[in-house]
Structure 1
Amino acid sequence: MRFIFFALFLYSLAQLARSCFANRECARVGDLTQARMLTGRIVSRDTAQAEPSDLAKAGAESLLENGNDAVFGTLFWFVVAGGPGALLFRLANTLDAMWGYRTARFLQFGRSAARIDDALNWIPARLTALSYALLGATLADKRCAWRCWRVQAPAWPSPNAGPVMASGAGALGLLLGGAAVYDGVIEQRPILDCGRMAGAKDIGRAWRLVAGTTVMWVGLIVLAGLLV
């Protein structure tokens, strides 16, 4: 079970990295059509008419959030409850992404999926947010991450995505959130503001923050295992 978990864990991390760098390269060379298509594969918002700045913001937000949902949260529940815990977490997260509050027909099922995901994600999301803040490149970035988390995250509709993306925005010195198109409707989300608008190079910076968090926690877990 442990071998299967780590194989899937590394595969998820590799897929996240591959999507990230393919998106960044298309944005960098100006292939807007390809960049829109690649971004659309990793985010739930509409990207058909997105501008380069919108794609960069979407890519950075997706990486920061998936740093918890696909990577650290899975690792956390594996440590707490082994393979079954990691599987339960990923199942709840997948069901929430597919059905959480999406249609009147599946409202009750979607609400249940969303609430289970919120409960399982509460601790991992805050540990991820703390990690992003600690890994800010400068003291100013660390302070900004903490301020965004404390002041701006409570306005975010998701109790777990808010701290993760707010802290990540601060650690990277970016302006995230704001308008995004979902199912043809413009949704105005709270602003997570601790700097400038995202550009193509910030997709790679977001990835390095996620990778750094993963390395830090894997290292701590290995160290704890050696000391016990």
Structure 2
Amino acid sequence: MWLMILAPLLFDQWWGEPRRFHPLIGLGWWISIVEENLYPLKQHNAAMLMTGSVGWVLVIAPFMGFAVLIDHFLEGFWHTLLAVLVLYLAIGRKSLIEHARRVYQPLARGDLNTSRRQVSMLVSRDTQQLDASEISRATCESVLENGSDALFAAIFWFAIAGIPGVVLYRIVNTLDAMWGYRNERYLYFGRTAARMDDAMNWIPARLTALSYALAGWHWRASQNTLGSAIKCWWQQGRSWKSPNAGPVMAAGAGALGIQLGGGGIYHGHHVESPVLGTGRPAVTRDIQRTCTLIFKALLIWLTVLLFIEWVLA
């Protein structure tokens, strides 16, 4: 199992995500088709909740049926090969780091306009007026949160349930990305998608928060970042609007010794979010520090998984 997790990570590091014919493109098309055919003409709350739940099942059922059949009937080399391929397609560490670097490099040169355009691809807030610190803060938040979604949660479900587990997680996560908005169209229609994503991410998010805290640990007593990260996780994480993003970002901010959260412009309205972390505001170099924290956390996960496999052998 450990090598079946390591291999996709290496493939992702070498090649990144496929630039063409990625399965998630087909999944997004299928989700859109289901939505177009099911979204109720009479937009009563109960009708939207019911049809959204039915749509959620219709999206997942064919993919999960195929994944379970393949997992059951394939054996040996072909099963291992497919498992490695599926996990490789489900993770996106290199893509996440590359996006962060596209923000960092022009920001380090003082090119705020380019950095604003790049960070707008990572976050949903209005980026047109962000200064250097706000760009850094937004990028660090996105990298920490998506590190859990795009990397650690996929590894977790693969380790727990193999091919069906990681396929289910990636579909649930994609459904949340497309339907899980708290706006007029999706508040009820996308509620099942949002709740199921919360449920599947609950344990992985907290394991990710713990790994961020451990990854930022300094041995010097004067830099007790481990205690700070755990304290931020427990005291601040629950106040965030997302039950899973809050602990992850709070622990990461505490480990880095920076402050995240705070105000932002979303769809023309100022939204004040709780402050996460402790210490100084985020600066440009913290983007690189956040990427390094993700890598250290990944090493912790691989070490723990190797130890578990050795114990169970």
2:302 partner amino acid: V
Pairing of 1:100-119 with structure 2 (within 5 A): 100-119=180-199
2:226 partner amino acid: K
Q: Per-residue CA shift, 1:53-103, capped at 9, x if unaligned? A: 111000000011011011000100111111221122122222222221333
Task: State the distance in 2 between where 1:144 and 1:59 align.
Answer: 21
Q: In the alignment, which residue of structure 2 is the partner of 1:213?
A: 297
- Alignment counterpart, residue 8 of structure 1, candidates 83, 89, 102: 89
Pairing of 1:48-197 with structure 2 (within 5 A): 48-138=128-218, 139-197=223-281
Which of 94-103 and 31-40 deviates more? Answer: 94-103
Deviation at 1:226, TM superposition (A): 4.3
Task: State the distance in 1 between where 2:179 and 2:233 align.
Answer: 27
Task: State the distance in 2 between where 1:46 and 1:98 align.
Answer: 19
Q: Per-residue CA shift, 1:137-157, capped at 9, x if unaligned? A: 425111110111111112111
- Give TM-score scaled by structure 1 length: 0.94
Q: How many residues align?
A: 227
Deviation at 1:220, TM superposition (A): 2.5
1:161 partner amino acid: A
3-state SS of 1:65 partner: helix
Runs of 4+ displaced beyond 4 Å: none
Task: State the distance in 1 between where 2:276 and 2:233 align.
Answer: 9
User: Which segments of 5 or more consecutive residues in structure 2 lack a partner in the other structure?
Assistant: 1-81
Measured on the aligned residues, the alpha-carbon RMSD in Å equals: 1.5
Task: State the distance in 2 between where 1:58 and 1:50 align.
Answer: 9
Task: State the distance in 2 between where 1:81 and 1:144 align.
Answer: 33
Task: State the distance in 2 between where 1:44 and 1:7 align.
Answer: 26
Percent identity reads 45
Task: State the distance in 1 between where 2:181 and 2:95 align.
Answer: 27
Task: State the distance in 2 between where 1:166 and 1:4 align.
Answer: 33
Query: Considering only CA atoms, is the larger Rg found in Structure 1 or Structure 2?
Result: 2
Label 1:99 to 1:6 Cα distance change in 2 as closer, same or farther (>3 A).
Answer: closer
User: Which segments of 5 or more consecutive residues in structure 1 lack a partner in the other structure?
Assistant: none
